[in-house]
């Protein structure tokens, strides 16, 4: 085996990974500053690379947006979609994610109709959120008559939406514990009511 070639390949991989992370960090910084538009050109300039390098690393703008905005982070070793032992456990898991990505998601949602690529990523995020709610509360939903489950699911989606997190944490200024208690109360109220309104 050619050890020099293997070493060279490893160095290239490490450099590519570092470049990729710089691009993600730059994109996230742009998301955190609503005074600036999110573009590939701005992202590339902030990361110190060319637009072509950004495209080589991510394939297209949509993939970069998805990486920059973030998702439920199964890739970080935390299994997010799991049956909830308690409502509080489910809410803590949800807030773990929102505390990391909530502000970026809110900005993306605010601009999804203006910036190409955001709408597709937002739609994917909504599907992911629905999947999380369905999986997390599957047992509790089964406890209700089938005819009521669709309405209960909609209420759970609303109670756990990122905009509720924003309202509680950013607009009302609640600390995380108080915000989580409020969402848990909304969820318990929803699950405790078997009647559709």
Per the structure, the count of domains in the chain is: 2
More confident residue, 161 or 115: 161
DSSP state of 93: H
153-179 residue pLDDT tens: 999 999 999 999 999 999 999 999 999
Domain-embedded: residue 162: yes
78-97 residue pLDDT tens: 444 555 689 999 999 999 98
Is 125 found in the same domain as 109? Answer: yes
Is residue 195 pLDDT above 60, yes or no? no
Angle formed at CA 158 by CA 102 and CA 98, multiple of 5 degrees: 15
Domain-ending residue, one of 45, 69, 93: 69
Give the pLDDT of residue 101.
85
Taking the C-alpha atoms of residue 27 and residue 47, their distance in angstroms, rounded to an integer, is 8
Is 62 found in the same domain as 24? Answer: yes
Q: Which domain holds residue 110?
A: 74-191
57-66 residue pLDDT tens: 999 887 887 7
**Read out DSSP for 128-176?**
HHHHHHHHHTHHHHHTS-HHHHHHHHHHHHHHT-HHHHHIIIIIS---H
35-73 residue pLDDT tens: 777 789 999 999 999 999 999 999 988 788 778 876 544
């Amino acid at each position: 085996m050619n050890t020099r070639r293997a070493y060279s390949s490893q160095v290239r991989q490490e450099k590519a990974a570092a470049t990729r992370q710089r691009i993600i960090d730059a994109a996230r910084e742009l998301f955190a500053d609503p005074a600036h538009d999110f573009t590939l050109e701005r992202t590339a300039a902030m990361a110190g690379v060319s637009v072509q390098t950004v495209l080589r690393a991510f394939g297209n703008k949509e993939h970069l947006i998805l990486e920059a905005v973030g998702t439920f982070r199964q890739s970080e070793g935390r299994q997010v979609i799991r049956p909830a032992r308690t409502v509080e456990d489910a809410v803590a898991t949800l807030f773990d994610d929102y505390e990391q990505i909530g502000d970026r998601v809110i900005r993306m949602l605010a601009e999804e109709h203006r910036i190409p690529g955001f709408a597709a990523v937002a739609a994917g995020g909504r599907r992911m959120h629905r999947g999380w709610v369905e999986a997390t509360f599957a047992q509790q939903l089964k406890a209700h008559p089938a005819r009521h489950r669709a309405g209960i699911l909609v209420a759970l989606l609303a109670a756990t939406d990122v905009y509720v997190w924003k309202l509680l944490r950013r607009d009302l200024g609640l600390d995380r514990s108080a915000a989580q208690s409020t969402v848990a109360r909304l969820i318990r109220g929803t699950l405790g009511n078997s009647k559709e309104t």
